[in-house]
Amino acid sequence: MGVMSEKMNSYQDFVALSPDTLPSRLGGLAALKDRIGGDASAWSVREVGDGNLNLVFIVQGSKGAAVVKQALPYVRLVGESWPLPLKRSFFEYHALSRQSQRDPGMTPEIFHFDPGQAMIVMEFLSPHIILRRALIEGQELPRIAKDLGLFLARTLFRGSDLCLDTKLRKADLALFADNVALCDITESLVFSNPYFDAKLNRHTSPQLDGIVAQLRADRDLKVAAQRLKHIFAATPETLLHGDFHTGSVMVTPGQTRVIDPEFAFYGPMAFDVGMLLANFWMSYFSQTGHEADGSRDSMRRYLLNVIAEIWAAFRAEFSRLWHGERSGILYQRALFEDQGDMLASEQALDLVLQGIWIDMLGFAGVEMHRRILGLAHNADFETIENTDVRARCETKALKLGRHLAVNRHRIHSVVEVNRLAERLEKEIVT
Amino acid sequence: MGVMSEKMNSYQDFVALSPDTLPSRLGGLAALKDRIGGDASAWSVREVGDGNLNLVFIVQGSKGAAVVKQALPYVRLVGESWPLPLKRSFFEYHALSRQSQRDPGMTPEIFHFDPGQAMIVMEFLSPHIILRRALIEGQELPRIAKDLGLFLARTLFRGSDLCLDTKLRKADLALFADNVALCDITESLVFSNPYFDAKLNRHTSPQLDGIVAQLRADRDLKVAAQRLKHIFAATPETLLHGDFHTGSVMVTPGQTRVIDPEFAFYGPMAFDVGMLLANFWMSYFSQTGHEADGSRDSMRRYLLNVIAEIWAAFRAEFSRLWHGERSGILYQRALFEDQGDMLASEQALDLVLQGIWIDMLGFAGVEMHRRILGLAHNADFETIENTDVRARCETKALKLGRHLAVNRHRIHSVVEVNRLAERLEKEIVT
């Protein structure tokens, strides 16, 4: 569904906000006035959207502040030449609602949703900063591993047929099936473009030209990436965040919040897990580039620990939910526990977790590639100004990514992946 | 969505047809009059529905005949105590439309669809008989293997992201996601009920009591069956027929037609393939029970050949479409052929076919179990009046089913499965 067809129906009254128009346009909105103070003429408004897609305003009133996020009918980063449906705001709103039920307190509170204006008014998280930025700065945040591991397990488990009434899941799947345009971005930019000479690609050149050519000629890698795309497109096990990297997490030392689920759709459980861990592995390899302000040895150890702990927390919580909340149509107790066969249930749990593990590694692998070879790079590497240093960091991530994608069925444990990352980190890359 | 909620909206004018009321109610329908002759008072109407769910009328006029199929708001076999949405007729109509595009000439021609009356007016297939009946009678039909193998490959491939625009697939997936009630029948009756003491189960007793207890205590089997249910529920690769057994095929020696896709939904490609082959393996094991009217040695050889040929025709046609019609988002030529790497495309094709093979064997295994242990048995076994003979036939199928479901990742070829079936057939079962 293109922008034009949208405008002809539910979005015909859409007008983009600006700092100047926001107070007059939203000044009558009780949900906002009650939170930040009723005198709209005294509001101060800053536009802070630093993502690729949307407008984001911080509105400060006499009593407090709130965030107003509004979609635009095109990709902000590129302009009107790349239209993108406003309806992504609808999907973001519904994903936030479901996530807040499934892991309460881990998403910003929603004050108001205006579907026709593609606008969500929500909690202003302060003094939270974007996790990716904290990691670039070398901050060792104590809570993120546990919080993110639990969030993954709870949202993925509770949105699936392991728990949810399958009628609800199927109706919701149908609702989110229309988030085609954002899935298309992932399908193209993550799974395909990095592996051929696509227009939108870019990479640190000429330093990476050699390995890029190697990867694009790597038959096993390309087949693996396409198999992962197949799984991505046709395994709607649960409602995913869909874009779960360290730029979609806001943190303080004491709090972790997950934001921006506009890519939400029903997909494979392993996708959110793999994308998140990939971004930590990339952060790990990028640390050398940020070492000017002091050694990052401790930060590197911290990051590998975070990865191992996210995975451990995810497994532990997923197992706990398996034993306590497995009320859906899959792996029913009637066939296992109710027949006195506890070990059958454990065997099935091992099988499910093993499947997630294998595919998670694969998704992590392609995520590392697309952030270095594709359109949307990440600040961990991009902020390394010395391109020789940056290219060395990126090369290590590309190599690990290739290893994970191709060998995912044979890799034993996250600890061993971390050891391999350490060996790549110490390797003299030529 | 229950029957009541349906009646309150789109089905409020639904009234079941009868042979008496049909001519007056449909006498004004041009699509029908044009085909069979306009004088409705001269129509003769027979109700011939021998399935479990619907009304089926053959309407004979002066110029020809047609079939009128109408859903009922409950399961016909059980009665009003088991409501079932009328909307299944809508799904059947849309599935027939898509199948007729994807493999023209293999489905009955549709003359008219009345959504509010849950009624499809379609071609009267004559002198076709139900394939299952032909197999019970020992008929060796020369065309079915090739026709069914091609039908599987064409409908499964052309309905998937290998070929179809993914926007269309996702919109269609959303449309069919509402066929919840019929999927629920499969999810419960095929994948779960056979493996515990569910109310609706029945089996040839007491002869099978021993093996039934064994299977229900078989941990590996139950975990495998539940894993297959997981795949069934969460792998919408393509639009499936959804109930593709030998009772959903009508034949003459020269023609093969596929009917009754009301269970249609987006699911794993392997499901239709596995269900169909399972029904041929069951026919094979049932032949001893029908040997009174002459040796079935030739029929047994024929059936195993049909199985091998369906699989070979499916693989060959799927490969042909892979090379010629792979225009979807999966395994794009840009990554393979367009880079001059033909073998990468072959490697990916092998991977996809291997996945279908493995899951097909699993689905075949559980289909054999549910037809013997669950609610819906099949005539191949049910028409064997001597229950000792019947139980011996069924035991062989149960054993093969268990072997396929549990060992599906390690089984090499359909020829070897057929050899195993032959050894089971010769085994003295105690």
At B246-259, the pLDDT tens digits run 999 999 999 999 99
d(CA B119, CA B108): 14
Under 8 Å between Cβ of B179 and B1:
no
- Of A273, A254, A249, nearest to A378 by C-alpha is A249
B212: closest CA of chain A, how far (Å): 14
Residue A291 per-residue DSSP state: G
| pLDDT on residue B52 | 73
A343: closest CA of chain B, how far (Å): 8
ipTM > 0.85 for the complex: yes
* Mean residue pLDDT across chain B: 95
Which residue is closest to B173 within chain A, CA to CA? A174
| pLDDT on residue B233 | 97
- Contact between B192 and A351 using a beta-carbon 8 Å cutoff: no
pLDDT at residue A107 tops 50: yes
pLDDT at residue B309 tops 80: yes
A180: closest CA of chain B, how far (Å): 6
Query: Which tokens is A268 given?
Result: 């494979």
- Contact between B343 and A219 using a beta-carbon 8 Å cutoff: yes
Looking at B67, B92, B123, the residue that finishes a domain is: B123
User: Do B49 and B186 belong together in one domain?
Assistant: no
Which residue is closest to B192 within chain A, CA to CA? A335
Nearest CB to A347 within list B196, B219, B352: B219
d(CA A130, CA A136): 10
Residue whose pair of structure tokens reads 């069951």 in the numeric block: B282
Query: Which tokens is A62 given?
Result: 């006499």
- For A213-260, how does the pLDDT look when each residue is reduced to its tens digit (9 = 90+)? 999 999 999 999 999 999 999 999 999 999 999 999 999 999 999 999
User: Do A112 and A136 belong together in one domain?
Assistant: no
- Contact between B174 and A170 using a beta-carbon 8 Å cutoff: no
- Contact between B222 and A344 using a beta-carbon 8 Å cutoff: yes
For residue A327, the SS3 value is: coil
B310-317 average pLDDT score? 98
Q: If residue A302 lies in a helix (H) or strand (E), which one and from where to where?
A: helix A297-324
| pLDDT on residue B78 | 80
- For B215-263, how does the pLDDT look when each residue is reduced to its tens digit (9 = 90+)? 999 999 999 999 999 999 999 999 999 999 999 999 999 999 999 999 9
- The DSSP bridge pattern shows strands A110-114 and A119-123 to be antiparallel
Q: Predicted confidence band at A4 (pLDDT cuts at 50, 70, 90)?
A: very low
- Kindly list the residues from chain A whose CB atom is less than 8 angstroms away from the CB atom of residue B236: 234, 236
- Contact between A335 and B177 using a beta-carbon 8 Å cutoff: no
Return all residues near B343 (Cβ < 8 A) that are at least 6 apart: A219
- Of A226, A275, A221, nearest to A399 by C-alpha is A221
Query: Which tokens is A235 given?
Result: 């395994």
pLDDT at residue A293 tops 80: no
- Kindly list the residues from chain A whose CB atom is less than 8 angstroms away from the CB atom of residue B226: 330-332, 335, 348
pLDDT at residue A371 tops 90: yes
Q: What is the CATH number of the domain that holds B318?
A: 3.90.1200.10
d(CA A43, CA A28): 13
Residue A109 per-residue DSSP state: P
- For A63-99, how does the pLDDT look when each residue is reduced to its tens digit (9 = 90+)? 999 999 999 999 887 888 889 999 999 999 999 999 9
- Contact between A196 and B222 using a beta-carbon 8 Å cutoff: no
Residue whose pair of structure tokens reads 């802070």 in the numeric block: A48
User: Do A115 and A136 belong together in one domain?
Assistant: no
User: Do B136 and B168 belong together in one domain?
Assistant: yes
Which residue is closest to B269 within chain A, CA to CA? A234
| pLDDT on residue A6 | 55
Query: Which tokens is B396 given?
Result: 């062989």
User: Do A338 and A361 belong together in one domain?
Assistant: yes
d(CA B427, CA A293): 77
| pLDDT on residue A430 | 43
- Of A270, A379, A284, A366, nearest to A314 by C-alpha is A270
- The DSSP bridge pattern shows strands A119-123 and A44-47 to be unpaired
A269-297 average pLDDT score? 95
Q: Where are the alpha helices (DSSP H) in A103-191?
A: 131-136, 144-158, 166-176, 180-189
Domain count, chain B: 2
- Contact between A352 and B230 using a beta-carbon 8 Å cutoff: yes
Radius of gyration of chain A, Cα coordinates, nearest whole angstrom: 22
User: Do B114 and B161 belong together in one domain?
Assistant: no
Under 8 Å between Cβ of A182 and A88:
yes
pLDDT at residue B316 tops 90: yes
Nearest CB to B335 within list A192, A236, A339: A192
Chain A with chain B: Cβ pairs closer than 8 A: 142
User: Do A185 and A46 belong together in one domain?
Assistant: no
- Of B162, B61, B140, B154, nearest to B100 by C-alpha is B154
- Contact between B216 and A339 using a beta-carbon 8 Å cutoff: yes
pLDDT at residue A313 tops 90: yes
User: Do A186 and A285 belong together in one domain?
Assistant: yes
Looking at B123, B142, B170, the residue that finishes a domain is: B123
What pTM, to 2 d.p., does this model score? 0.96
| pLDDT on residue A428 | 62
User: Do B101 and B147 belong together in one domain?
Assistant: no
- For A144-159, how does the pLDDT look when each residue is reduced to its tens digit (9 = 90+)? 999 999 999 999 999 9
Nearest CB to B196 within list A225, A236, A335: A335
| pLDDT on residue B6 | 55
Return all residues near A416 (Cβ < 8 A) that are at least 6 apart: none
- For B387-421, how does the pLDDT look when each residue is reduced to its tens digit (9 = 90+)? 999 999 999 999 999 999 999 999 999 999 999 99
Hey, CA dihedral for A126, A130, A133, A139, is it positive or negative? positive
User: Do A164 and A294 belong together in one domain?
Assistant: yes
| pLDDT on residue B428 | 62
User: Do A286 and A304 belong together in one domain?
Assistant: yes
Q: What is the CATH number of the domain that holds B7?
A: 3.30.200.20
Looking at B75, B93, B123, the residue that finishes a domain is: B123
pLDDT at residue B366 tops 50: yes
- Contact between B171 and A187 using a beta-carbon 8 Å cutoff: no
CA angle, A357 as apex, A354 and A360 as ends, to 5°?
150
Identify the domain containing residue A334 by its residue range.
129-426
User: Do B25 and B51 belong together in one domain?
Assistant: yes
